[in-house]
Amino acid sequence: MKRLIPLLLTLFPLAAGAFPEQAGNAAFWKAMDWDHPATTPVWQDRNWVNYIGVPAPGETRQRIQDVRLADVDLLAILARSGTSSRQPDQLQLLTQAADRRRDQCPALTRWAKSRFGAPAATSDAGYTLNAESGKGMVQSDLSYQWDIGTTRLTLLCQTREIPTQPGKPLVESFSRLTFGSLAATPELKPLVSASCTRNEHAAGASEPGKSLDRMGFVIDENKRLIRRPDKVPLKASDVRIDRDSVSFSLERDTASNDYRLDRNTGLLTGTLRLAGIPMIRISGHCQLKPLTGAASP
């Protein structure tokens, strides 16, 4: 009998199943002690194994296991959210690479809503590229946030449909659920639409400038992107977005337009440079409008 015990423990590990059961337990996450996550049933589940691969930039994966939630196969990861943390302080659930030809976002969203209620915040950054050609790419980019006691849960869903033949687009999909500390996890921000007047002035001149066409763009604080009004990402460099200001640079050949927006006053300033030399000063004012809500998957 003693010889059978180690074998039985191998076949039926202690605490097996604790993680899948607790993942949808609102009471568990509401009272989660994020200062000591290693003492919780999820972190102590016996199915975790050491991760030996190369983590993504800014992320340290330490333990992984395969799980199934909402009839979706997922890779569960215990990760460190930053270099300041020595122990895993974040739980991530990612769709498996072999299953990314199907959009799993609807199933995961229904699962989260059925257990945690309506999301506290949503964001829709989806767009269609080259729609006028009839061969455009459709990019779905949905984000959801639930605040559950001490825990913040976020769901990111990205699906790309690329036409290959009539009625049969190539689908590439990725979804990620992240459980983290409410205090340490960034809040999901709405996209903000900016519609701006512009006037140009010769560098160093003080007289009234020439009126230019209005400029429109979308501020994506979550992904640190500047987008076109149709939400297609712009090829902007030196993007900086915070609560009070936005700055970015648009470059073409040897010319660059450097813009700065004061989010409190709406004041827009900019400089046109040729080969690095300031040539024209830009001034204007922007009307800012949050783009709230996300389409239901």
Task: Give the tens place of pLDDT for each residue, 105-127.
Answer: 999 999 999 999 999 999 999 99
252 and 143 in a common domain? no
Percentage of the chain exceeding pLDDT 70:
81
* Mean pLDDT on 20-28: 90
Q: Is residue 56 part of a domain?
A: yes
> Average pLDDT over the chain, rounded to whole?
85
* Mean pLDDT on 139-165: 92
Q: Is residue 65 part of a domain?
A: yes
Domain that holds residue 217: 191-291
* Mean pLDDT on 173-180: 94
128 and 78 in a common domain? yes
**C-alpha–C-alpha distance, residues 43 and 38, integer Å:** 5
Q: Is residue 186 part of a domain?
A: no
Q: Token pair for residue 68?
A: 């199934």
Overall domain count for the chain: 2
Would you say the pTM of this structure is higher than 0.75? yes
Q: Is residue 297 part of a domain?
A: no
What pLDDT sits at residue 297? 55
Residue 272 pLDDT > 80, yes or no?
A: yes
What pLDDT sits at residue 10? 36
Identify the band that residue 54 occupies on the pLDDT scale cut at 50, 70 and 90.
low
